[in-house]
């Protein structure tokens, strides 16, 4: 079938295009080539045709949808950004762009959508208190972070909490501008599905890394930031105490998850369904920095004690629903993936 991949020339989108083309689909990549992600024009992803245009342009989207059977929507402005001056760009790219796309999908009668979402929709992860059971901690106070008190406490008794796994039924609680736009994308897509009988599979990516990550930009992922420092013979700078936990998932596994999600829309019931896309094997940020430094023979990480507003402490996912319903399991373990990533080409 013909599949339109928005953001198809990007870090994740280009890998999705390659996997879908390899599965025999007719793939069209649609990308605005925004400077935050593309400092030089990329080649078309292998096996795909590239259309250079903006998903916020309704006429361009309408033309691109001609003959299309399904859409994989990767186009977005990602990362924590620089400061609140980025807010209009995030909302414009992510939410207005998604709204334009959904309106054109409805007009064209295209009812199958895979949406790139993110683990940031959850805010803090899952926690339990010895006395009060499952709890949702309050946002961490700046005064606590500045004093080096990084672990959230129970909102009822302030006791230490035990972090656990977040599943897809957890409450959405965005704690950054980017996170708020991803929640809005999910809500818009769910409303579209209800109105037109469409099928939406939302993939909540955890920390994606791998070949082709953009380098040297404030919108890069932490793995690319660490690698850029090591290439310059500088120690990676780790925020807080380095013990914050994340789930790192390789970009080729993410591309496979998109292919599985697309397949599920063929006979899938109309409506909205979300899935964590994660490895199921969490690591601390400090461990990732150390592993990269070792692989590259670079200086050891420096734990700075610094922090960023909007960061969360621990966010680790349950990958069970994706395994049970999509048949997706990550196949690249972190040690193997980081050893490859240490010398893999990055995106300028």
Q: 333 — phi, psi (to 5°)?
A: -75, 160
Largest Cα–Cα distance of the chain, in whole Å?
58
User: Reduced to 3 states, what is the DSSP secondary structure of residue 90?
Assistant: helix
User: What are the backbone dihedrals phi and psi of residue 126, each rounded to the nearest 5 degrees, phi first?
Assistant: -90, 140
Q: In this predicted model, what pLDDT tens digit does every residue of 249-292 receive, in sequence order?
A: 999 999 999 999 999 987 777 899 999 999 999 999 999 999 99
What is the CA angle 190-193-197, rounded to 5? Answer: 160
169 vs 1, 254, 317, 321, CA distance in Å? 32, 21, 11, 10
Say what percent of the chain tops pLDDT 90: 83
Compute CA distances 209 → 83, 87, 245, 252, 338, whole Å: 23, 24, 15, 9, 9
Written as six digits, the tokens of 28 are 């069209």
Catalytic residue among 127, 178, 209, 275: 178
Q: Does the pLDDT at position 82 exceed 70?
A: no
Report the alpha-carbon distance of residue 227 to residue 44 in Å, rounded.
26
Over 80: is that where the pLDDT of 35 sits? no
List the structure tokens of 113.
């959508």
Does residue 37 register a pLDDT over 80?
no
pTM score, whole prediction: 0.94
pLDDT at residue 52 tops 80: yes
The tens digit of pLDDT for each residue in 318-338 reads: 999 999 999 999 999 999 999
Is 178 in the active site?
yes
What's the pLDDT at 39?
65
Q: Map tokens 């006429």 to a residue.
A: 59
Residue 219 has a pLDDT of: 62
């Amino acid at each position: 079938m013909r599949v339109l991949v928005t953001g198809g020339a990007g870090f994740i989108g280009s890998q999705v295009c390659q996997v879908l083309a390899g599965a025999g689909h007719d793939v069209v990549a649609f990308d605005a080539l925004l400077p935050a992600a593309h400092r030089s024009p990329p080649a078309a992803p292998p096996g795909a045709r590239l259309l250079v245009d903006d998903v916020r342009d309704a006429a361009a989207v309408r033309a691109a949808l001609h003959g299309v059977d399904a859409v994989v929507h990767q186009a977005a402005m990602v990362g924590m950004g620089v400061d609140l001056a980025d807010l209009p760009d995030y909302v414009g790219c992510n939410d207005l762009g998604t709204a334009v796309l959904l309106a054109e999908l409805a007009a064209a009668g295209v009812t199958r959508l895979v949406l790139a979402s993110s683990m940031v929709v959850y805010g803090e992860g899952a926690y339990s208190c010895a006395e009060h059971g499952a709890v949702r901690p309050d946002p961490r106070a700046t005064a606590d972070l500045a004093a080096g008190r990084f672990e959230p406490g129970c909102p009822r008794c302030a006791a230490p909490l035990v972090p656990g796994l977040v599943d897809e039924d957890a409450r959405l609680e965005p704690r950054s501008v980017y996170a708020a736009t991803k929640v809005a994308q999910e809500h818009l897509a769910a409303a579209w599905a209800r109105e037109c009988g469409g099928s939406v599979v939302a993939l909540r990516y955890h920390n994606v890394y791998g070949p082709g990550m953009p380098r040297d930009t404030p919108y890069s992922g932490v793995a690319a930031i660490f690698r850029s420092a090591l290439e310059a013979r500088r120690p990676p700078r780790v925020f807080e105490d380095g013990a914050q936990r994340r789930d790192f998932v390789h970009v080729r596994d993410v591309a496979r998850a998109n292919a599985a999600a697309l397949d599920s829309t063929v006979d899938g019931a109309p409506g909205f369904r979300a899935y964590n896309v994660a490895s199921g094997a969490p690591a601390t940020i400090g461990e990732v920095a150390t592993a990269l430094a070792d692989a590259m023979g670079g200086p050891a990480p420096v734990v700075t004690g610094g922090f960023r507003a909007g960061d969360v402490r621990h966010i680790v996912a349950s990958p069970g629903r994706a395994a049970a319903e999509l048949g997706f399991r990550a196949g690249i373990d972190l040690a193997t993936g980081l050893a490859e990533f240490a010398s893999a080409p990055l995106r300028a």
